[in-house]
Structure 1
Amino acid sequence: MPEGFTAILVAVLGLAVLFDYINGFHDTANAIATSVSTRALRPQWAIAMSATANFVGALTGTAVAKTIGSGLITPQSEGGLVVAAALIGAIVWNLLTWRLGIPSSSSHALIGGLLGASAAAIGFGAWQVDGIVGKVLFPLVSSPIAGFAIGFALMVVIFNLFRRAHPKTMNDRFRRLQVLSAAYMAFSHGSNDAQKTMGVMTLALVSAGILPEFKVPLWVIILAASAISLGTAAGGWRIIRTMGTKVVKLDPVHGFAAETTAATIITGASLLGMPVSTTHVISSAILGV
């Protein structure tokens, strides 16, 4: 075992990888459900594409990781146990909602776990209120609203541009375009969600004294990107059915608009270091279109 790596630290890192993997198959539906439901992509091809795009997206930055690892709670000597408790709570919640086929937010489960565990172990003084309000609560409220509004507006623009097109021609065109929008959606998912795992892993490393400051190591980035990609490849058919068929009936044009809207919002949030819920954003975008 490398110097400084205690059993607790190794267990925390293992839990983080497990959470990332589960997050991958739990949230696969967010990226591909609309494409599968509109038959723009076969399920197997959709999952393979999504896994690849998730991996690439996860390599694009660490702003969200910094927010999760250093912008919400203060690293303490108890950090390893705090992170472990947060991860266990998030994992249990994800598995429960996956089993029931309920689309829920892995991001909020993890963030809620971190805040709850740190408050229990250290006290509410461990919370960084400015970071929580600015980087969590604000995007938590605004991103679904933006998803609905932008999705609605984009559909109005598309229908005006193609108002004279035959429905079959329109569906054929957007079925092809939806391959690109699905890849964009998967890329954005990786860019935001994988970074959350990078953040908690780096937080654990800083708390254990392995790292002198919060800077995500390359091996953590690769490990998190690989775990979410492999999890995505495993798929999550229960939630795919809910997102793709039970929320609203979709045509290819609706799927394209919803995915493009959600992916743009999530990518923007990633660049700003804001952890957002892929589930909430794509769900609201679907309702908007």
Structure 2
Amino acid sequence: MTPVDFFSDHTFTMAFWGTTVIGMVAGALGAFAYLRRQSLISDVISHSALPGILLAFLTLTTLGLPGRGMWGLIIGAAATGTLAVLLTNAVARVPRIRTDTAMAVVLSSFFGLGMLIMQHIQNNPFPDKGGIQDHLFGNASTITRADLTASLVTGGLALAVMVLLWKEFALSTFDREHAAVLGLDNRVIDAAMYTAIAVATVIGIRAIGLVLMVAFVVTPPAAARQWTRTLPGMVALSGMLGGLGSAAGTYLSIAFGPLPTGPVIVVTLFLIFLISLVAAPERGLLHRRKVAV
């Protein structure tokens, strides 16, 4: 399939731009989770978003509204995803409970609740329930113009929060004690940051699936870290790599497929990470070998 044929097809174009936006937003905001050594917080968010999506579906259906409306599902997913992050941090503050343990407990609990709600939906005659299970593994071909608009607006809002609170996010990430001395409430900053990361994560669940969204938040920052030493450079490059990997993966999955878009994007992001790990100046394995010799 030639690029001309690809971009002349509405479905392919929507999938391409939709996943590109998801990759850019998730990559940029994922840099802060990476620097805080909480990259897997996106896994908590994505899995904990499932009950929020399904509860939003049930609420909208009960009100006689379209159950799979993008805005309603995003709000539901962001609400439970943010709640899960806050709960994780609260549990981690309990003595003798590690952060990874808190993540595992909260993730599995919310995901289990989501699976119970999904079973309830599947066993009852709710209208418009077909395809609701796509949120588990994603389906980029279902992205519509309305979905793309919703992703652009919500992703833009998440990035705007990051820009407006840039100083606060940076201080809380690198020097929490200094931030407290300046009168900043780290808990409020954390809530704002994790809400933004939650939004960046949940906008991709419908297209990529909650199982694979963690790669969009983790892999681009890990690759960008090999090339740059500054926070602005890392955030910008992480967003660029996330968008580039998503765009390339979507094109490859369709042009040489049909192949599942989410897995192909994840593999593409992993290849970008490997190239960065090997070839990046100063930190790459090739440079280290030259220095060692």
Q: TM-score, normalising length from structure 2?
A: 0.31
**TM-score, normalising length: structure 1:** 0.31
